[in-house]
Amino acid sequence: MNYSDDVIRYDEQAILCLRSLYSRYGYEPYRMSRFEEYGLYADNKAFLSSGDVITFTGTSGKLMALRPDVTLSIVKQTIDDGTTKKLYYDETIYRPEGGEFKEQMQVGLEFIGDIDVSAMGEVLMLARQSLKELSNQSRLEISHMGFLSGLLQNANLNSQQSSRLLQSVSEKNIPEINALFDEYDIDNECREKLATLVMLYGSFDETIDTLREISINEETESALLELEEVYEVLKGLDAHENVNLDFTIVNDLNYYSGIIFQGFIEGIPKKVLSGGRYDELLRRFGKQAGAVGFAVYLDLLEQQYIQYGKADADMPTVSNDMINIALPKGRLGEDAYAVFESSGYGCPGMSEESRRLVFENPENGVRFFWVKPSDVSIYVERGVADIGVVGKDILLELASDVYELLDLDMGKCRICVAAEKGYIDKQDRTLKVATKFPNISRNYYESLGRDIDIITLNGSIELAPLLGLSDVIVDIVETGTTLRENNLEAMVTITDISARLISNKASYKFKHEAISTMCDKIQRG
């Protein structure tokens, strides 16, 4: 049976194409139910991208869930009999995204058994090939959890400390990494090596020497050796082009131990493929086999296809040849623009009084957008802007998935808990907190184990305790004038704030040279 393109949708074509690829390499189709007992996810929350799962009560009274993940179900069903299992699937999963649950289509494969270098190489080659089938402008990015954990071996971090550090690694957030090193009292050698690792990005040939230089112990040596051997396998399979090393790809150390990887397609602002070696998950189920696998997120490709008609080299992106920069309207944006201008990225008309929102200068390859300050990270996360300038308060509030490249050392202020002078929190009832920052407030009080009632306001927060709407406020304090003039006082500083230069993660890869040159120039001042 042959069907024309009008009958088979783009996502269906992509599924068929990937299924036949995996089948050609001996992988067997795997089908499963859309439901699972909720306990499977409750016990393995850290393995999931979010702990939020759609649940319902089954007819037998058991708490059930609509599946947020495929790998857990496959691992649970796997019989640990020493044989190799090569499986592929295409399934719908249910995950929260942008504040609501979404259905997502995933096609993926799992290799379960004895994972030697050639098995690892085969899975990476198939990940590379999957991306190639979908677009001829793609990149496979590889990291190794063993190298990261080896570097941190002597630091003796507890699991909360190491997950904070890994979060900063995933953001390329050198200032935050340094602050954590100070807090955890880790030695300088480790700090410098981790900073080098975090900024390392490029092909195997470009990066492997630096990796050799910063390797410090048996664990990093064995990770390095595995990467080198796998790279040779990829070369032998002619699947080594557009494969880069990027150690800002991190996963939970309780599940992932070895090589992990992600795939990107030009014009799509997020990863479209994610995978890795997850032997630790099998250990949790009492199974001895090793495992590696990956999933391709087809809904992202589908959106791109609907928008542009096809996912290939001709697909237009916002602008491939320019760096698109979102600046916050107002004083902070003007100060930030002055930094870009003095670093050689000026744009005619930007400083003039006008209501224009977009300015570009093809000569130095920049296009600026003036954006509402609280929206900057949304533009960057969604890839409409490649980079942007935003206050750390907004980044913390929105938990934006972006790189935090530089602390611009401007827009300095604090997020504080404040109340009327003389207020005493008797801790005898739920605390009423008025704020523009509900997530920051929730996280702060959760860390103290305090019950709060959050009242989200949009401005003039200081009014809330004065009029009895709340007990305290969580708000920005810059000079302290607003608090003083309203007879309020800061009780606790939750965190210091400054403006950050952020980058979309995919843009950082596809426009790497232009963005890193820009950062260097800004840093040199």
Where b means 16+ CB within 10 Å and e means fewer, 221-241 reads ebbbebbeebbebbeebebbe
Q: Which among 59-67, 330-338, 342-350, 475-483 is the span making contact with ligand PRP, rule CB under 6 A?
A: 475-483
- Compare residues 314 and 478 and give the one whose CB is closer to ligand PRP: 478
* Binding of ligand PRP by 478 (CB under 6 A): yes
* Binding of ligand PRP by 410 (CB under 6 A): no
* Binding of ligand PRP by 496 (CB under 6 A): no
Residues 6+ away with beta carbon under 8 Å from 518: 323, 343, 345, 387
Q: If residue 16 lies in a helix (H) or strand (E), which one and from where to where?
A: helix 10-24
Q: How far is the CB of 414 from ligand PRP (least distance, A)?
A: 9
Residue closest to ligand PRP, measured at CB: 459
Q: Which among 187-195, 284-292, 443-451, 472-480 is the span making contact with ligand PRP, rule CB under 6 A?
A: 472-480
Q: How far is the CB of 113 from ligand PRP (least distance, A)?
A: 57
* Binding of ligand PRP by 467 (CB under 6 A): no
The identity of residue 514, as a single letter, is A
The tokens describing 228, both together, are 């080198």
Query: DSSP per residue over 167-234, as a string?
Result: HHHHTT-HHHHHHHHHHHT--HHHHHHHHHHHH-EEEHHHHHHHHHHH--SHHHHHHHHHHHHHHHHH
Q: Which among 380-388, 417-425, 476-484, 495-503 is the span making contact with ligand PRP, rule CB under 6 A?
A: 476-484
Q: Which among 18-26, 119-127, 445-453, 473-481 is the span making contact with ligand PRP, rule CB under 6 A?
A: 473-481
Q: How far is the CB of 407 from ligand PRP (least distance, A)?
A: 20
* Binding of ligand PRP by 477 (CB under 6 A): yes
The Cα–Cα gap between 472 and 423 comes to: 9
* Binding of ligand PRP by 365 (CB under 6 A): no
- Least Cα distance to 149 among 259, 39, 233, 285 occurs for 259
Q: How far is the CB of 458 from ligand PRP (least distance, A)?
A: 7
- Compare residues 1 and 467 and give the one whose CB is closer to ligand PRP: 467
The tokens describing 135, both together, are 């677009």
Q: How far is the CB of 173 from ligand PRP (least distance, A)?
A: 25
Binder of ligand PRP out of 16, 195, 476, 491 (CB under 6 A): 476
Applying the rule CB under 6 A, the residues between 23 and 62 that interact with ligand PRP are none
For 197, 209, 308, 425, the CA distances from 206, given in Å and listed in that order, are 13, 7, 34, 57
Burial classification of residue 257, based on how many CB atoms lie within 10 Å of its CB (0-12 exposed, 13-18 middle, 19 or more buried): buried
Residues near ligand PRP (CB under 6 A), total: 12
DSSP structural state of residue 502: E
Strands lying side by side in the sheet with 488-497: 452-456, 431-435, 472-477, 413-420, 488-497
Residues 6+ away with beta carbon under 8 Å from 379: 326, 369, 371, 385, 388
Count other Cβ atoms within 10 Å, centred on residue 320.
12
Binder of ligand PRP out of 196, 482, 486, 498 (CB under 6 A): 482
Q: Which among 222-230, 360-368, 474-482, 508-516 is the span making contact with ligand PRP, rule CB under 6 A?
A: 474-482
Contacts with ligand PRP, 102-141, as mask; x by CB under 6 A: ----------------------------------------
* Binding of ligand PRP by 480 (CB under 6 A): yes
Contacts with ligand PRP, 443-462, as mask; x by CB under 6 A: ----------------xxxx
Give the 3-state secondary structure of residue 243: strand
Binder of ligand PRP out of 33, 60, 160, 479 (CB under 6 A): 479
Q: How far is the CB of 331 from ligand PRP (least distance, A)?
A: 10
Q: How far is the CB of 328 from ligand PRP (least distance, A)?
A: 11
The identity of residue 234, as a single letter, is L
State phi, psi for 433 to the nearest 5 degrees.
Answer: -120, 120
Where b means 16+ CB within 10 Å and e means fewer, 164-183 reads bbbebbbbbbbbbbeebbee
What are the residues binding ligand PRP (CB under 6 A)? 459-462, 475-482
